[in-house]
Chain A
Amino acid sequence: MPETKVLEPQKEEIEISEGTERTREGLCFIPRADIYELDDHLMIVADVPGADDKTIDIVLEKDVLTINALVDPVLPEGFSLAYAEYEVGDYTRSFKISSEIDREKISASIKNGVLRLRLPKAAAAKTRKISVIAS
């Protein structure tokens, strides 16, 4: 079991290379993610508070899997912001997928602001136990 990390409150904003402009107004963050591997699949778990199944978009193009979540800041009606520690914005992050993943069977679910991507390994990549026959 890996060491547990402490909970961090601040989100990391994306860095935009000089000369490039975002086509959407507002902020964009890089979601914190865990990637772990089990016998027959890989899991990508990402924190996307404020996003749901309707606002999240996952695209696989060639070897790159991209998560895009569009989160519009909600301003509570009749209230004004008195004190702020965090800002609300979109999320984006890309992952390079190795050839051992069965692309057709990638599935995703979202609950309580956490996105879970399940990437099953292709049959050939699964570990096979080869029995040795004594002759």
Chain B
Amino acid sequence: MYRRYHTPYHWREIDRLQQQMNRLYETAAPSRLRQAAGFPAMNIWSNNDGLKVTAEVPGVHPEDIDINVVGDTLTLTGERRPDDLKEGVQYHRQERGNGKFSRSIQLPYKVNIKKVEATFANGVLSVDLPRADEDKPRKIVVKNA
């Protein structure tokens, strides 16, 4: 309250401008979709029994992907190898990237590391991470007194 009545006019003007900018960004890109901090972009699906993390990694060989879980952090590392090309090849267009990647993401809860399984199909990686038993929510039954 104090600030509202005692801040100079131009500060309030800047606050208002910032709010308008935020609203503008919100409409341009829905807040549900977050900007990926690096390659690959990941989606996390969840239910009471576990998580499913999916990532689009086209052109990466499944044997070149490493999945690591430490505590509640999932780390994906790997490499997309460039095409084996002869000398004298002429590029007309190059938009696809190559090289090593590594990303860590914090999971909403601890998972059972022993039961983590991953599948790979059509360039899409899917990692199943069952929730750790000790972390599962417990249902408390109310007894009649």
Contact (Cβ within 8 A) B39 A86: no
With CB as the reference atom, state the residue of chain A lying closest to B43: A84
With A86-B56, A113-B59 known as contacts, the answer to whether A81 contacts B45 (CB < 8 A) is yes
A9 CB contact (under 8 Å) in B36, B94, B98: B36
- CA A36 – CA B59 in complex, angstroms? 17
Confirm or deny: A10 has a beta carbon within 8 angstroms of a beta carbon on chain B.
yes
Which chain A positions have C-beta within 8 A of B95?
A: 5, 32-34
Q: How large is the interface on A (under 10, 10 to 19, 20 to 34, 35 or more residues)?
A: 35 or more
Main secondary structure of the interface of A (DSSP, over half): loop
Contact (Cβ within 8 A) B43 A33: no
Contact (Cβ within 8 A) A34 B94: yes
Determine how close the nearest CB of chain B comes to the CB of A94; give it in whole angstroms.
Answer: 13
Interface residues of B in 57-101 (CB under 8 A from A): 57-62, 80, 82-83, 85-99, 101
Contact (Cβ within 8 A) B36 A5: no
With CB as the reference atom, state the residue of chain A lying closest to B48: A78
Confirm or deny: B34 has a beta carbon within 8 angstroms of a beta carbon on chain A.
yes
With CB as the reference atom, state the residue of chain B lying closest to A42: B92
- CA A78 – CA B108 in complex, angstroms? 17
Determine how close the nearest CB of chain B comes to the CB of A128; give it in whole angstroms.
Answer: 16
With CB as the reference atom, state the residue of chain B lying closest to A8: B97
Contact (Cβ within 8 A) B47 A80: yes
With A34-B95, A36-B92 known as contacts, the answer to whether A112 contacts B58 (CB < 8 A) is yes
With CB as the reference atom, state the residue of chain A lying closest to B89: A36
Q: Jot down 19 A-B pairs with beta carbons below 8 A, ordered by A.
A: A2-B94, A4-B99, A5-B98, A6-B97, A7-B98, A10-B35, A10-B36, A34-B95, A37-B89, A37-B90, A47-B58, A49-B123, A76-B45, A82-B44, A82-B51, A112-B123, A113-B56, A113-B59, A113-B123
B: residues with CB less than 8 A from A are: 32-36, 38-47, 51-52, 56-62, 80, 82-83, 85-99, 101, 108, 120, 122-124
